[in-house]
Amino acid sequence: MNKQRSGIIAAILFSAIYFANSCANTTAPPSGGLKDTLAPVLLSVMPDSNTIKFPTQKAKVELKFNEFVVLKEPEKNILLSPPQKKRVEAKVRGKSVVVEFPAKLDSATTYTLYFGNSIEDNNEGNKFPGYRYSFSTGGYIDSMLVTGLIVDAATLLPVPGALVAFYTDHSDSALYKKLPASLTRSDQWGFFLATNLKPVPYRLFAYTDKIPTIHTTRKMRKWLFWTLFSLRRLS
């Protein structure tokens, strides 16, 4: 009888301990699964890239992704080439990035939107790789391109984030009085790519801060270089 009672007590104690451990495990945080390391996927663009006869007023571009995204420093990372006096306005709407043009676009002009590193996913900050969107307010897309490397003349080290401006007006005053005909920025290795250029002579400048104006002095900028060159189509 005593042995039977002891067995019953032991069974009850074992059940109580097992039940207590089971209850305790329910309070442990979930494992959460694998970390998201994938960049957002671009599903569609409206209007399509390389659209011609793009509206010059009240136009917008919408990029739709497969997940929620955020914009990081759009004023710094998003460039419109050729630039306007008023910067483009970029905002997030759900899983889309919408870019609007507050100023009237020039007619018969090819434009390029450089998004740089401005787009990343909402959860882990995975960056959408640098994207270029081209369109034309005229009947065709200018298709010439130039690549190059920006280095510091004193150290020969790459210069990241330098603005590279192309001017069709070759006068000295154009740099202060006019906006460039095309604009791009060097990446973290000093490499730059300018697309959608015309087959005409350009005067090229590179500098490390904002576009110069008539009120800018030479002491306020770090000049990198300037040169004159011409683009020609291969026959």
Each domain of the chain, given as residue ranges in start order, spans: 35-141, 142-235
Question: Domain 35-141 has what CATH class?
Answer: mainly beta
**pLDDT at residue 196 greater than cutoff 90:** yes
For residue 96, list its beta bridge partners.
64, 93
Distance CA 185, CA 196 (A): 14
Pairwise pLDDT comparison (140 vs 221), residue with the higher score: 140
Tokens of 30: 């979930």
Tokens encoding 223: 């000049």
For the question of whether the overall pTM of this predicted structure is more than 0.75, the answer is yes
Residue of higher predicted confidence among 218 and 155: 155
Q: What are phi and psi of 9, to 5 degrees?
A: -65, -45
pLDDT at 19: 43
Q: Measure the CA–CA gap between 156 and 133, rounded to whole angstroms.
A: 32
Apex 210 CA angle, 205 and 216, nearest 5: 85
Q: Give 6-38 pLDDT, tens digit per residue.
A: 444 444 334 443 444 444 444 444 555 667 788
Average pLDDT, the chain: 81
Q: Does residue 21 sit in helix, strand or coil?
A: helix
* Percent of residues, the chain, with pLDDT higher than 70: 74
End-to-end CA distance of the chain: 108
Judge whether 35-141 and 142-235 match in fold.
yes
pLDDT of 17? 39
CATH superfamily of 142-235: Immunoglobulins (2.60.40.10)
- If we measure between CA atoms, which residue out of 161, 137, 126 comes closest to residue 59? 137
